[in-house]
Amino acid sequence: MTIEEIENEIVEEFEMFDDWMQKYEYLIDLGKSLPIIDEQYKTDNTLIKGCQSRVWMHSELKAGNVIYTADSDAIITKGMVALMIRVLSNHTPDEIMNAKLNFVEKIGLTQHLSPTRSNGLLSMIKQMKLDALAYKQIS
Amino acid sequence: MIESKNITEVQLDIEKIRADFPILSRKVNGKPLIYFDNGATAQKPKSVIDAIGNYYSNQNANIHRGVHTLSQEITVAYENARSTIQKHLNAEHAHEIIFTKGTTDSINLVASSFGKKFIFQGDEILVSAMEHHSNILPWQQVCEERGAILKVIPINKEGELIISEYKRLLTDKTKIVALTHISNTLGTINPIEELIALAHVKNIPVLVDGAQAVPHTNVNVQLISADFYVFSGHKLFGPTGVGVLYGKEKWLTEIPPYQVGGGTIKTVTFEKTEYADLPLKFEAGTPHIEGGIGLAAAIDYVNKIGLNNIAAYENELLVYATEALGKINGVKIIGTAKEKASVISFIVDGLHPFDIGTILDQLGIAVRTGHHCTQPLMQFYGIQGTVRASFAFYNTKEEIDLFINGLERAIKMLN
Ligand SMILES: Cc1ncc(COP(=O)(O)O)c(C=O)c1O
């Protein structure tokens, strides 16, 4: 699936929710799903400093695609992180760099990407794209 | 003293008071706003909003500069605002009240100017473990510049200063003590009069960070004998961008100007400048005129209700909320000092404050989450952050009930 197709799939999933409670319960469930980063990569080097919740992010290149793994100490942030990984992971550096990530607005969670939210998510997306750029330059 | 304080059931007409604050009738995420983030900034009554509007509609002119009527009128109004603050703090002179941008600005002013004059290699500056970053960083910087050493008064687990340690740390090397009156994170009310008296025994001046105290208590700077007392307008129901530095005349006369420029001088030649007398010596440039006027309006408003009434009512809210929180499994209150203002920090077992704050926000409830600009304090408690609810006199027990419901719901969702 292309990045856009995955984004559309997520938007459709969220359209089934009637209210904010269901939406957040879904995010929380995503957040509770198994650790999404290998413990060895959960270090200060991979820590993205948001003011409040912390995000760890690791990436590697496999067969021309970037694979991301990440974690957060806050569960709602972790749910958002899981969504971002589902959208961006396993694509080529070019595809990742060009991703618009419009789905966040469509599912009504833009507030989580505002700089004042200080949950590390915005910095994480920036870091994901920077990593993609770095892989592109190596290859 | 939460349990044993003699609570007089205060007769405040809260409905009428709430009607004075336009923002309290708005909705957030479809729910009526419950504003429990007063420690960060307080809401503004109509009289303050009107004073600012009126300034721009009818009074706007620059102060201390013109012979024309508007300039003279606003100069009088601005100086009246200074007198209102002077009376409110019971300062001896109006010129001991310096308008600043806020608490942080006031502390930077004192740290910089006092530092230049009085702090040298090997000297010590004393702060406490519960200080806001704004009352740490300016001192840290002075220490770096002047080769001085920052010393820290420890606290106990309840969040109270350990007085015996404080006494031990007051030495011949100590040049100034900088202490918060009320902790923004723990709510602890420090025995400020006693703490100042102890420093004065050794002739050490004390700066008091009153940012969290002025909205909750009457402050009498002469009674407590503070050398410097600083606060922000916006936490006292006034405008943002304006604050106060009170300083004893003796100190303000001795320390050099901070920023210089228009307004701070008597005569200027390219060789030498003679600086103006207090307070203008410390007020460079065109000030936040409507801020000063709005702050005076806020003080008038608070005084109409009466800070003693406010303190008693807020204590009822504090006791009520503390009891209710205590009944929720897994909730731990951080900061259990005997003397507390209406600020409650807490954590919930296994849950991140950020998640709790996010769910509460969906319910229209505004709380603060995080480290509250007191990272060293978080390190002391070994936590990343807390959820903080801080109440003002326009909050109600019904709102606390809704908050407790919301919290229980958040805990259920997140577990
Ligand atoms: C105790 C204390 N000191 C200082 C400050 C800083 O105030 P301001 O940001 O208005 O300068 C605050 C506000 O957060 C505070 O609570």
Domain membership of residue B352 (yes or no) is yes
Domain membership of residue B27 (yes or no) is yes
Pocket of ligand 1 (CB under 6 A): B 102-104, 132, 134-135, 180, 184, 209, 211-212, 232, 373
Nearest to B259 by CA among B276, B284, B236: B284
Number of domains chain B is built from:
2
Domain boundaries A3-138, corresponding CATH code: 3.90.1010.10
Q: Which tens digit of pLDDT belongs to each residue from B255-290?
A: 999 998 888 888 899 988 888 899 999 999 999 999
What rounded mean pLDDT belongs to chain A? 89
Rounded to 10°, the helix B103-118/B137-146 angle is: 20
Is the domain of B116 the same as that of B254?
A: yes
**For position B265, what pLDDT does the model report?**
83
Which DSSP helix (H) or strand (E) runs through B118?
Answer: helix B103-118
Mean pLDDT of A82-95: 95
**For position B2, what pLDDT does the model report?**
43
**For position A108, what pLDDT does the model report?**
86
* Band of pLDDT at residue A110, cut at 50, 70 and 90: confident
Q: Which tens digit of pLDDT belongs to each residue from B57-115?
A: 999 999 987 889 999 999 999 999 999 999 999 999 999 999 999 999 999 999 999 99
Domain membership of residue B410 (yes or no) is yes
Mean pLDDT of A27-35: 83
List the beta strands (DSSP E) in A6-115. 47-48, 55-62, 65-72
Nearest-angstrom CA–CA distance, B114 and B132: 20
Taking the CB of residue A35, how many other CB atoms lie within 10 A of it?
11
Does the beta-carbon distance from A76 to B29 stay under 8 Å? Answer: no
Out of B29, B371, B414, name the one closest to residue A75 (CB): B414
B340 compared with A18, residue with greater pLDDT? B340
Is the domain of B196 the same as that of B343?
A: no
DSSP letters, B367-385, are -EEE-TT-HHHHHHHT-S-
Is the domain of B139 the same as that of B190?
A: yes
Residues of chain A with C-beta less than 8 angstroms from the C-beta of B384: 54, 73
Q: Is B9 exposed, middle or buried (0-12, 13-18, 19+ CB in 10 A)?
A: exposed
B358 and chain A in contact, CB less than 8 A: yes
Out of B352, B353, B359, name the one closest to residue A24 (CB): B359
Interface mutation target, options A18, A22, A24, A118, chain B, most CBs of B under 10 Å: A24
Dihedral sign of CA atoms B58, B62, B64, B69 in order? negative
**For position B154, what pLDDT does the model report?**
98
Does the beta-carbon distance from B413 to A24 stay under 8 Å? Answer: yes
Domain membership of residue B255 (yes or no) is yes
Whole-prediction pTM: 0.94
Is the domain of B149 the same as that of B172?
A: yes
Neighbouring residues of B60: CB distance < 8 A, sequence distance ≥ 6: B70, B74
Model ipTM? 0.89
Residues of chain B with C-beta less than 8 angstroms from the C-beta of A76: 354-355, 358-359
Domain membership of residue B344 (yes or no) is yes
How close is the Cα of B371 to the center of ligand 1, in Å? Answer: 13
Token code pair at residue A109:
């969670």
Q: Mapping DSSP to helix (H, G, I), strand (E, B) and coil, where does residue B302 land? A: helix
Mean pLDDT by groups of 10 residues along chain B of 415 residues: 46 94 96 98 98 98 90 96 98 98 98 98 98 98 98 98 98 98 98 98 98 98 98 98 98 96 86 90 96 98 97 97 98 98 98 95 96 95 96 98 98 95
Q: Which tens digit of pLDDT belongs to each residue from A42-72?
A: 998 888 876 678 889 999 999 999 999 999 9
Using the 3D structure, point to which of B274, B303, B332 is the last residue of a domain: B303
Radius of gyration of chain A (CA): 14
User: ∠ CA(B400), CA(B402), CA(B408), 5° rounding?
Assistant: 105
Is the domain of B291 the same as that of B325?
A: no
Domain membership of residue B39 (yes or no) is no
| In chain A, domain spans | 3-138
Nearest-angstrom CA–CA distance, B139 and B148: 9
Confirm whether A51 is a catalytic residue: yes
Is the domain of B379 the same as that of B290?
A: no
Is the domain of B177 the same as that of B258?
A: yes
Read off the amino acid at residue B211: A
Mean pLDDT of A89-113: 91
Is the domain of B359 the same as that of B399?
A: yes
Domain membership of residue B377 (yes or no) is yes
Is the domain of B156 the same as that of B274?
A: yes
Is the domain of B218 the same as that of B87?
A: yes
Radius of gyration of chain B (CA): 22
Residues in chain A: 139
Q: What is the CATH number of the domain that holds B399?
A: 3.90.1150.10
**For position B6, what pLDDT does the model report?**
42
**For position A35, what pLDDT does the model report?**
66
Is the domain of B268 the same as that of B325?
A: no
Full residue range of the structural domain in which residue B270 is found: 49-303
Dihedral sign of CA atoms B337, B338, B341, B346 in order? positive
Q: B44: alpha, beta or left, given left = phi > 0 and alpha = psi -120 to 50? A: beta
Interface mutation target, options A17, A53, A109, A118, chain B, most CBs of B under 10 Å: A53
**For position B7, what pLDDT does the model report?**
44
